[in-house]
Amino acid sequence: MSDMPPPPSVPSTPPTPNSPSASTPVWDAQPPAPAMVAQLAGLGLTAQVDDAIVRTTEATKRYGPLVAVNAVNLAVPRGSIYGLIGPNGAGKTTLMTMVASLLLPTSGSIEIDGSDPAENTDEARRKLGYMPDGLGVYDGLDVGGYLEFFAAAYRIPSSDWPVLIDGLLELVQLEVKRDSPVNSLSRGMKQRLSLARALVHDPELLILDEPASGLDPRARVELRELLWQLQSLGKTIIVSSHILSELQEIVTHVGIMEAGRLLAEGSPDEIGSKLGAVRRVKVRFADGSSETFDLTSTADQVALLHRLVVDDEREVVEFREVNAGLEDVFMNVTKGIVQ
């Protein structure tokens, strides 16, 4: 219950942030991160975004000597599915919680579609829906009553509840569970209900913290398809996850965090190209043989295919990338630093 986001009509009062006198970050571990960030910055691993629904400027969150989020400049394009990735302790949840207006930054600023959630909390919360990693449960509420509670918190007229809740339950495929107690649902069903709760007030922006955590393979596929559907409806989605292979299939943009810093931002292909990341291509031929090639760009792939088919006159029946994508980009950008 404690992890439920307050409704927009209830102003939040986050704890007063710590404000050390020193302006430079203090790290628990040895500090190779600043040098690494400078090196990556030289590669231009950030994206220029004109129409950003979320923009942070030097957003920082300190807890005493620990800098959980360190001077992050984030830009989430409107209409994108933005994957925020990084190891445990990278600062992803802290950053998402600040964007969701549930935590004040120690310094820096955050804008949600032009509104500062610290100054215009109600306005910012009307524009966003937040789905935390865990679902809070009110004892005694069934699924329908649970959504009615949040509809009331967002001051949606009660006359609109039946159509609204029917539509949300249909969207997340929980129609048959409308009268079931919330605490009787499986993990996957609770995740879908939490997403329905975040959509009650039809926000433009969805912030989903580890939505696939603990889900079985079928539930993950269903969640992926649901995110595509929501994007097609004009929603912008920020999603964090450790399951990089699945994020690869759905995200349009990524931000890679480590030790509280944003190391790279943009589309996976853009980041990979700037890093010179290797693309491994497997080619299978009509005679049953196969070969693997390490390439660095799409142009190299086109040239390889042309050489095999036109120059060498070999019959290619399969030509695909393997072991490439977000995992390779992530491993190229991060260094395994723990703060």
Task: Kindly report which listed range (42-51, 129-138, 169-178, 185-194) carries the lowest average pLDDT score.
Answer: 42-51
240 Cβ contact list (under 8 Å, min separation 6): 83, 84, 85, 92, 93, 96, 208, 209, 210
Place of tokens 């610290």: 118
Element (H, E) at 198: helix 187-198
Q: pTM here?
A: 0.71
Q: State the fold for domain 33-266.
A: Rossmann fold (3.40.50)
pLDDT at 146 over 90: yes
User: What is the SS3 assignment for 247?
Assistant: helix
Task: Give Cα separations from 196 to 2, 129, 131 (angstroms).
Answer: 18, 10, 9
- Phi-psi sector, 270: left (phi>0), alpha (psi -120 to 50), beta: alpha
Q: Locate the domains of the chain by residue range.
A: 33-266, 278-323
As a whole number, mean pLDDT of residues 176-186 equals: 92
Show Cβ contacts of residue 273 under 8 Å, excluding neighbours closer than 6 positions: 297
Residue 206 burial class via C-beta count within 10 angstroms: exposed 0-12, middle 13-18, buried 19 and up: buried
Residue 330: per-residue pLDDT: 61
